[in-house]
A = this chain, B = another copy of it.
């Protein structure tokens, strides 16, 4: 993490504009349909500048899909509020930043994007779950189950746009999905003999 030059170059603004446009395009169209030409048009610059700054379409995507879930430290969340805390966090994060939606759309067809998605959930989410008090031996599986519900919510709400899921408030969604995540985090393994919840 060496610092950038103190004197901001003109190119910095251009780079930032390209990145912002790229995130929107990748989120709206997925990796294949999002063209460098379209990104450049959105950023109101020449297509060749995108190549100059990011080398290739893959390089542009790699820069645009840099993503931090900003997960809270689950060790400091009351045990009975883990599920709803996480549900609200994800919904807020997605509404504020379309990068994860871009990554999700791209991950369906682009192997590199899928790999990055696996990395984010293996790294950031599994790490956070491991600090929630879950048994270390089951933390990875619990994180996977949480991901299945969390990404399914993002998929149906922001990508497929299933009307009932789009129409529910974030608050209502968190009230429904929170207990699901709570159970995935806390119910003993295996769940077979436990009461349904």
- With a cutoff of 8 Å between Cβ atoms, the chain B residues found around residue A114 in the complex are 159-161
Assess the A191–B162 pair: CB atoms within 8 A: no
CA of A162 to CA of B80, assembled, Å: 27
Copies of this chain, tallied across the complex: 2
Assess the B156–A80 pair: CB atoms within 8 A: no
Assess the B155–A151 pair: CB atoms within 8 A: yes
CB of A190 within 8 A of chain B?
yes
A143-168 CB contacts (< 8 Å) to partner B: 143-145, 147-153, 155-157, 159-165, 167-168
- With a cutoff of 8 Å between Cβ atoms, the chain B residues found around residue A108 in the complex are 30, 104-105, 108-109, 159
State the interface size on chain A (CB cutoff 8 A): 56
- With a cutoff of 8 Å between Cβ atoms, the chain B residues found around residue A162 in the complex are 117-118, 121-122, 144, 147-148
Assess the A109–B32 pair: CB atoms within 8 A: yes
Assess the A80–B196 pair: CB atoms within 8 A: yes
Minimum C-beta distance from A5 to chain B (A): 39
A83, A108, A159, A192: residue with the most chain B Cβ atoms closer than 10 Å? A108
CB of A90 within 8 A of chain B?
no
- With a cutoff of 8 Å between Cβ atoms, the chain B residues found around residue A145 in the complex are 164-165, 176-177
Contact of A33 among B109, B152, B165 (CB under 8 A): B109
CB of A93 within 8 A of chain B?
no
Assess the B148–A153 pair: CB atoms within 8 A: yes
Contact of A165 among B30, B84, B144, B155 (CB under 8 A): B144
CB of A124 within 8 A of chain B?
no
Minimum C-beta distance from A66 to chain B (A): 18
CA of A59 to CA of B42, assembled, Å: 31
The 4 closest A-B pairs by CB, nearest first: A152-B152, A197-B197, A144-B164, A30-B109
